[in-house]
Amino acid sequence: MQFPSPVAVSWIAEFINAKLIGNNNGQATGINEIHKVEAGDLVFVDHPKYYDKCINSAASFIIINKEAVVPEGKALLVVENPFEAYSKIVHHFRPFLPADKTISDTAIIGANSFIYPGAYIGHHVVIGNNCVIYPNVTIGDFCVLGDNVIIQSGTVIGSSAFYYNSKKDREVWYKKMPDCGRVLIEDAVEIGAGCTIDRGVSNDTIIGKGTKFDNMIHVGHDTVIGKNCLFAANVVVGGCTTIEDGVTIWGGCIINKTLTIGENATLLGRTGVGSNLEGGKTYWGAPAKEAGIVQRELVWISRIPELWKKVMSK
Protein backbone atom coordinates (compact mmCIF):
# COMPACT_ATOMS: atom_id res chain seq x y z
CA MET A 1 0.00 0.00 0.00
CA GLN A 2 1.24 3.45 -0.87
CA PHE A 3 0.65 6.18 1.69
CA PRO A 4 -1.34 9.21 0.48
CA SER A 5 1.90 11.19 0.82
CA PRO A 6 5.37 10.39 2.23
CA VAL A 7 5.39 9.94 6.01
CA ALA A 8 8.34 10.87 8.24
CA VAL A 9 9.88 7.77 9.78
CA SER A 10 10.33 9.75 13.00
CA TRP A 11 6.51 10.16 13.16
CA ILE A 12 6.03 6.43 12.56
CA ALA A 13 8.51 5.59 15.33
CA GLU A 14 6.59 7.80 17.76
CA PHE A 15 3.24 6.38 16.59
CA ILE A 16 4.28 2.77 17.31
CA ASN A 17 6.53 3.65 20.27
CA ALA A 18 9.66 2.32 18.55
CA LYS A 19 13.36 2.97 19.08
CA LEU A 20 14.65 4.51 15.85
CA ILE A 21 18.11 3.44 14.69
CA GLY A 22 19.76 4.71 11.50
CA ASN A 23 18.25 7.21 9.09
CA ASN A 24 15.96 9.27 11.30
CA ASN A 25 15.22 11.81 8.55
CA GLY A 26 13.74 9.31 6.10
CA GLN A 27 10.32 9.47 4.47
CA ALA A 28 8.31 6.24 4.09
CA THR A 29 6.25 6.09 0.91
CA GLY A 30 4.32 2.90 1.69
CA ILE A 31 4.02 -0.27 3.74
CA ASN A 32 4.57 -3.73 2.30
CA GLU A 33 5.30 -7.33 3.17
CA ILE A 34 8.61 -8.96 2.33
CA HIS A 35 7.59 -10.56 -0.99
CA LYS A 36 6.72 -7.20 -2.56
CA VAL A 37 8.90 -4.52 -0.94
CA GLU A 38 10.35 -1.59 -2.89
CA ALA A 39 12.62 1.31 -1.99
CA GLY A 40 10.81 3.67 0.36
CA ASP A 41 8.69 0.89 1.85
CA LEU A 42 8.17 0.03 5.48
CA VAL A 43 8.22 -3.70 6.33
CA PHE A 44 8.17 -5.81 9.50
CA VAL A 45 10.09 -8.89 10.64
CA ASP A 46 9.73 -10.81 13.91
CA HIS A 47 11.66 -14.06 13.33
CA PRO A 48 15.47 -14.43 13.39
CA LYS A 49 15.30 -16.63 10.28
CA TYR A 50 14.25 -13.61 8.21
CA TYR A 51 16.23 -10.79 9.86
CA ASP A 52 18.99 -10.61 7.26
CA LYS A 53 16.64 -11.09 4.32
CA CYS A 54 14.42 -8.27 5.51
CA ILE A 55 17.17 -5.84 6.50
CA ASN A 56 18.93 -6.35 3.17
CA SER A 57 15.77 -6.25 1.05
CA ALA A 58 14.69 -3.27 -1.03
CA ALA A 59 12.74 -1.92 1.95
CA SER A 60 14.08 1.30 3.46
CA PHE A 61 12.52 1.00 6.90
CA ILE A 62 12.30 -2.20 8.97
CA ILE A 63 10.12 -2.77 12.03
CA ILE A 64 12.03 -5.39 14.02
CA ASN A 65 12.23 -6.82 17.55
CA LYS A 66 16.03 -6.81 17.86
CA GLU A 67 18.74 -4.21 17.35
CA ALA A 68 21.04 -4.97 14.42
CA VAL A 69 23.52 -3.36 12.04
CA VAL A 70 21.69 -0.92 9.78
CA PRO A 71 22.67 -0.55 6.10
CA GLU A 72 23.45 3.01 5.09
CA GLY A 73 20.37 5.09 4.35
CA LYS A 74 17.98 2.67 6.07
CA ALA A 75 16.37 2.73 9.50
CA LEU A 76 15.30 0.14 12.06
CA LEU A 77 12.25 0.69 14.22
CA VAL A 78 12.78 -1.58 17.22
CA VAL A 79 9.64 -2.68 19.08
CA GLU A 80 8.66 -5.64 21.22
CA ASN A 81 5.97 -6.87 18.81
CA PRO A 82 6.57 -5.94 15.15
CA PHE A 83 3.37 -7.60 13.95
CA GLU A 84 1.19 -5.50 16.22
CA ALA A 85 3.10 -2.36 15.19
CA TYR A 86 2.59 -3.20 11.51
CA SER A 87 -1.12 -3.82 12.11
CA LYS A 88 -1.50 -0.49 13.92
CA ILE A 89 -0.02 1.36 10.93
CA VAL A 90 -2.25 -0.46 8.43
CA HIS A 91 -5.40 0.23 10.47
CA HIS A 92 -4.44 3.89 10.71
CA PHE A 93 -3.95 4.42 6.97
CA ARG A 94 -6.59 1.96 5.77
CA PRO A 95 -9.31 1.90 8.46
CA PHE A 96 -12.44 -0.23 8.23
CA LEU A 97 -15.12 1.59 6.25
CA PRO A 98 -18.69 0.38 6.88
CA ALA A 99 -21.15 0.57 4.00
CA ASP A 100 -24.81 1.55 3.92
CA LYS A 101 -25.32 1.38 0.14
CA THR A 102 -24.86 -1.36 -2.43
CA ILE A 103 -22.90 1.04 -4.63
CA SER A 104 -20.65 3.41 -2.70
CA ASP A 105 -20.83 7.11 -3.41
CA THR A 106 -17.03 7.07 -3.71
CA ALA A 107 -17.04 4.48 -6.52
CA ILE A 108 -16.18 5.71 -10.01
CA ILE A 109 -18.06 3.93 -12.81
CA GLY A 110 -17.15 4.57 -16.44
CA ALA A 111 -19.33 5.35 -19.43
CA ASN A 112 -21.70 2.63 -20.70
CA SER A 113 -20.91 0.26 -17.84
CA PHE A 114 -23.89 -1.63 -16.44
CA ILE A 115 -24.24 -2.86 -12.86
CA TYR A 116 -27.03 -5.42 -12.37
CA PRO A 117 -29.25 -5.20 -9.29
CA GLY A 118 -27.83 -7.11 -6.35
CA ALA A 119 -24.18 -6.37 -7.08
CA TYR A 120 -22.12 -4.66 -4.36
CA ILE A 121 -19.52 -2.04 -5.31
CA GLY A 122 -17.29 -0.95 -2.41
CA HIS A 123 -15.62 2.29 -1.42
CA HIS A 124 -13.16 3.91 -3.83
CA VAL A 125 -13.69 1.22 -6.48
CA VAL A 126 -12.89 2.25 -10.04
CA ILE A 127 -14.73 0.57 -12.93
CA GLY A 128 -13.80 1.45 -16.51
CA ASN A 129 -15.94 1.94 -19.59
CA ASN A 130 -18.24 -0.67 -21.19
CA CYS A 131 -18.10 -3.12 -18.29
CA VAL A 132 -20.88 -5.53 -17.25
CA ILE A 133 -21.18 -6.57 -13.59
CA TYR A 134 -23.78 -9.32 -13.11
CA PRO A 135 -26.04 -9.91 -10.06
CA ASN A 136 -24.53 -10.90 -6.70
CA VAL A 137 -21.02 -9.83 -7.63
CA THR A 138 -18.99 -8.21 -4.84
CA ILE A 139 -16.18 -5.79 -5.67
CA GLY A 140 -14.32 -4.83 -2.51
CA ASP A 141 -12.93 -1.46 -1.50
CA PHE A 142 -10.19 0.15 -3.62
CA CYS A 143 -10.28 -2.48 -6.40
CA VAL A 144 -9.78 -1.28 -9.98
CA LEU A 145 -11.31 -2.64 -13.20
CA GLY A 146 -10.26 -1.55 -16.68
CA ASP A 147 -12.45 -1.16 -19.77
CA ASN A 148 -14.63 -3.91 -21.32
CA VAL A 149 -14.48 -6.16 -18.25
CA ILE A 150 -17.21 -8.77 -17.62
CA ILE A 151 -17.79 -10.25 -14.14
CA GLN A 152 -20.34 -13.07 -13.94
CA SER A 153 -22.74 -13.72 -11.06
CA GLY A 154 -21.54 -14.71 -7.62
CA THR A 155 -17.92 -13.70 -8.06
CA VAL A 156 -16.02 -11.86 -5.32
CA ILE A 157 -13.27 -9.45 -6.34
CA GLY A 158 -11.09 -8.27 -3.47
CA SER A 159 -11.89 -10.85 -0.81
CA SER A 160 -9.62 -10.76 2.21
CA ALA A 161 -6.17 -12.31 1.88
CA PHE A 162 -5.67 -15.71 3.55
CA TYR A 163 -2.51 -14.62 5.37
CA TYR A 164 -1.78 -15.09 9.07
CA ASN A 165 0.98 -14.36 11.54
CA SER A 166 1.62 -17.60 13.45
CA LYS A 167 3.09 -17.95 16.93
CA LYS A 168 2.78 -21.12 19.01
CA ASP A 169 3.53 -19.32 22.29
CA ARG A 170 0.20 -17.48 22.49
CA GLU A 171 -3.38 -18.58 23.07
CA VAL A 172 -4.49 -17.69 19.54
CA TRP A 173 -1.81 -19.21 17.27
CA TYR A 174 -2.91 -17.53 14.03
CA LYS A 175 -3.55 -13.79 13.92
CA LYS A 176 -4.86 -12.34 10.71
CA MET A 177 -2.50 -9.95 8.99
CA PRO A 178 -4.62 -6.93 8.06
CA ASP A 179 -4.70 -6.52 4.31
CA CYS A 180 -4.49 -3.17 2.57
CA GLY A 181 -3.79 -4.29 -1.01
CA ARG A 182 -6.08 -4.23 -4.02
CA VAL A 183 -7.16 -6.28 -7.01
CA LEU A 184 -6.33 -4.73 -10.39
CA ILE A 185 -8.16 -6.18 -13.40
CA GLU A 186 -6.93 -4.89 -16.75
CA ASP A 187 -8.90 -4.30 -19.96
CA ALA A 188 -10.96 -6.99 -21.75
CA VAL A 189 -10.82 -9.50 -18.88
CA GLU A 190 -13.75 -11.89 -18.35
CA ILE A 191 -14.31 -13.55 -14.97
CA GLY A 192 -16.78 -16.44 -14.74
CA ALA A 193 -19.36 -17.23 -12.06
CA GLY A 194 -18.46 -18.11 -8.50
CA CYS A 195 -14.81 -17.04 -8.64
CA THR A 196 -12.85 -15.55 -5.73
CA ILE A 197 -9.90 -13.25 -6.27
CA ASP A 198 -8.15 -12.24 -3.04
CA ARG A 199 -6.73 -8.76 -2.65
CA GLY A 200 -3.03 -8.33 -1.99
CA VAL A 201 -1.87 -8.30 1.62
CA SER A 202 -0.19 -4.94 1.11
CA ASN A 203 0.33 -4.83 -2.66
CA ASP A 204 -1.86 -5.77 -5.65
CA THR A 205 -3.30 -8.95 -7.10
CA ILE A 206 -3.25 -8.39 -10.87
CA ILE A 207 -5.19 -10.02 -13.73
CA GLY A 208 -3.64 -9.09 -17.08
CA LYS A 209 -5.29 -7.69 -20.17
CA GLY A 210 -7.40 -10.12 -22.22
CA THR A 211 -7.28 -12.97 -19.69
CA LYS A 212 -10.39 -15.17 -19.45
CA PHE A 213 -11.61 -17.17 -16.42
CA ASP A 214 -14.17 -19.97 -16.41
CA ASN A 215 -16.30 -20.60 -13.29
CA MET A 216 -15.23 -21.48 -9.73
CA ILE A 217 -11.63 -20.28 -9.86
CA HIS A 218 -9.67 -19.09 -6.82
CA VAL A 219 -6.69 -16.72 -7.03
CA GLY A 220 -4.64 -16.09 -3.88
CA HIS A 221 -3.27 -12.80 -2.60
CA ASP A 222 -0.58 -10.83 -4.45
CA THR A 223 -0.66 -13.17 -7.45
CA VAL A 224 0.19 -11.64 -10.82
CA ILE A 225 -1.43 -13.21 -13.89
CA GLY A 226 -0.24 -12.04 -17.28
CA LYS A 227 -1.99 -11.03 -20.46
CA ASN A 228 -4.17 -13.34 -22.60
CA CYS A 229 -4.20 -16.29 -20.21
CA LEU A 230 -6.99 -18.87 -20.26
CA PHE A 231 -8.20 -20.62 -17.09
CA ALA A 232 -10.77 -23.46 -17.14
CA ALA A 233 -13.02 -24.26 -14.18
CA ASN A 234 -11.87 -25.18 -10.67
CA VAL A 235 -8.32 -23.88 -10.91
CA VAL A 236 -6.74 -22.93 -7.57
CA VAL A 237 -3.76 -20.56 -7.49
CA GLY A 238 -1.81 -19.92 -4.28
CA GLY A 239 -0.63 -16.52 -3.10
CA CYS A 240 2.33 -14.55 -4.48
CA THR A 241 2.43 -16.64 -7.66
CA THR A 242 3.46 -15.27 -11.06
CA ILE A 243 1.76 -16.64 -14.17
CA GLU A 244 3.24 -15.10 -17.28
CA ASP A 245 1.53 -14.10 -20.54
CA GLY A 246 -0.33 -16.61 -22.69
CA VAL A 247 -0.54 -19.44 -20.16
CA THR A 248 -3.40 -21.95 -20.57
CA ILE A 249 -4.57 -23.83 -17.47
CA TRP A 250 -7.19 -26.53 -17.87
CA GLY A 251 -9.72 -27.67 -15.28
CA GLY A 252 -8.93 -28.69 -11.74
CA CYS A 253 -5.28 -27.64 -11.64
CA ILE A 254 -3.75 -26.71 -8.29
CA ILE A 255 -0.82 -24.28 -8.23
CA ASN A 256 1.27 -23.76 -5.12
CA LYS A 257 2.28 -20.37 -3.74
CA THR A 258 5.33 -18.21 -4.57
CA LEU A 259 6.29 -19.83 -7.86
CA THR A 260 6.44 -18.82 -11.53
CA ILE A 261 4.84 -20.43 -14.59
CA GLY A 262 6.56 -19.29 -17.76
CA GLU A 263 5.08 -17.65 -20.81
CA ASN A 264 2.84 -19.76 -23.10
CA ALA A 265 2.98 -22.85 -20.89
CA THR A 266 -0.02 -25.22 -20.92
CA LEU A 267 -1.23 -27.22 -17.91
CA LEU A 268 -3.47 -30.16 -18.73
CA GLY A 269 -6.40 -30.96 -16.43
CA ARG A 270 -5.74 -31.94 -12.80
CA THR A 271 -2.07 -30.95 -12.89
CA GLY A 272 -0.47 -30.11 -9.55
CA VAL A 273 2.31 -27.53 -9.63
CA GLY A 274 4.78 -27.34 -6.75
CA SER A 275 7.74 -25.53 -8.31
CA ASN A 276 8.61 -23.18 -11.17
CA LEU A 277 7.73 -24.30 -14.70
CA GLU A 278 9.45 -23.22 -17.92
CA GLY A 279 7.38 -21.51 -20.55
CA GLY A 280 6.46 -22.92 -23.95
CA LYS A 281 5.87 -26.49 -22.73
CA THR A 282 2.85 -28.67 -21.90
CA TYR A 283 2.62 -30.21 -18.41
CA TRP A 284 0.55 -32.93 -16.78
CA GLY A 285 0.37 -34.85 -13.52
CA ALA A 286 1.20 -34.17 -9.90
CA PRO A 287 3.88 -33.15 -9.45
CA ALA A 288 3.81 -31.53 -12.86
CA LYS A 289 6.10 -32.98 -15.55
CA GLU A 290 6.24 -32.47 -19.28
CA ALA A 291 3.17 -34.24 -20.63
CA GLY A 292 5.10 -36.39 -23.13
CA ILE A 293 7.26 -37.82 -20.32
CA VAL A 294 4.22 -38.64 -18.19
CA GLN A 295 2.52 -40.39 -21.10
CA ARG A 296 5.58 -42.57 -21.77
CA GLU A 297 5.79 -43.44 -18.07
CA LEU A 298 2.15 -44.56 -18.10
CA VAL A 299 2.86 -46.83 -21.06
CA TRP A 300 5.69 -48.53 -19.18
CA ILE A 301 3.56 -48.84 -16.03
CA SER A 302 0.85 -50.60 -18.07
CA ARG A 303 3.46 -53.16 -19.18
CA ILE A 304 4.52 -54.14 -15.65
CA PRO A 305 2.12 -57.12 -15.32
CA GLU A 306 3.36 -58.57 -18.64
CA LEU A 307 7.00 -58.11 -17.65
CA TRP A 308 6.32 -59.68 -14.24
CA LYS A 309 4.82 -62.77 -15.87
CA LYS A 310 7.92 -63.15 -17.99
CA VAL A 311 10.19 -62.88 -14.94
CA MET A 312 8.16 -65.41 -12.94
CA SER A 313 8.05 -67.89 -15.83
CA LYS A 314 11.87 -68.26 -15.86
| CA dist., res. 99 & res. 39, Å (int) | 34
Residue 166 has pLDDT above 90, yes or no: no
What are the pLDDT digits (tens) for 237-259? 999 999 999 999 999 999 999 99
Residues 6+ apart with CB under 8 A from 184: 143, 144, 204, 205, 206, 207
Residues 6+ apart with CB under 8 A from 238: 220, 223, 255, 256, 257, 258, 259
Find how far residue 277's CA is from the centre of its chain.
19
Residues 6+ apart with CB under 8 A from 26: 8, 9, 60, 61, 73, 74, 75
| CA dist., res. 237 & res. 252, Å (int) | 11
In the chain, count of helices (H) and strands (E)?
Answer: 5, 34
**Residue 63, SS3 per DSSP:** strand
Query: For residue 164, what pLDDT is reported?
Result: 92
- Domains for the chain: give ranges and CATH numbers: 2-93 (3.40.1390.10), 108-294 (2.160.10.10)
Query: For residue 298, what pLDDT is reported?
Result: 85
Mean pLDDT across the chain: 95
Find how far residue 289's CA is from the centre of its chain.
25
Find the catalytic residue in 47, 92, 218, 221: 221
Query: For residue 307, what pLDDT is reported?
Result: 80
- Can 221 be counted among the known catalytic residues? yes
What are the pLDDT digits (tens) for 104-161? 999 999 999 999 999 999 999 999 999 999 999 999 999 999 999 999 999 999 999 9
For 96, counting Cβ atoms within 10 Å of its Cβ (0-12 exposed, 13-18 middle, 19+ buried), the class is: exposed
Q: Among the listed ranges 36-40, 183-187, 196-200, 269-273, which one has the minimum average pLDDT value?
A: 36-40
**Residue 309, SS3 per DSSP:** helix
What are the pLDDT digits (tens) for 55-103? 999 999 999 999 999 999 999 999 999 999 999 999 999 999 999 999 9
Query: For residue 169, what pLDDT is reported?
Result: 83
Residue 314 has pLDDT above 80, yes or no: no
Task: Name the residue type at position 209.
Answer: K
Model confidence pTM above 0.85: yes
| CA dist., res. 268 & res. 283, Å (int) | 6
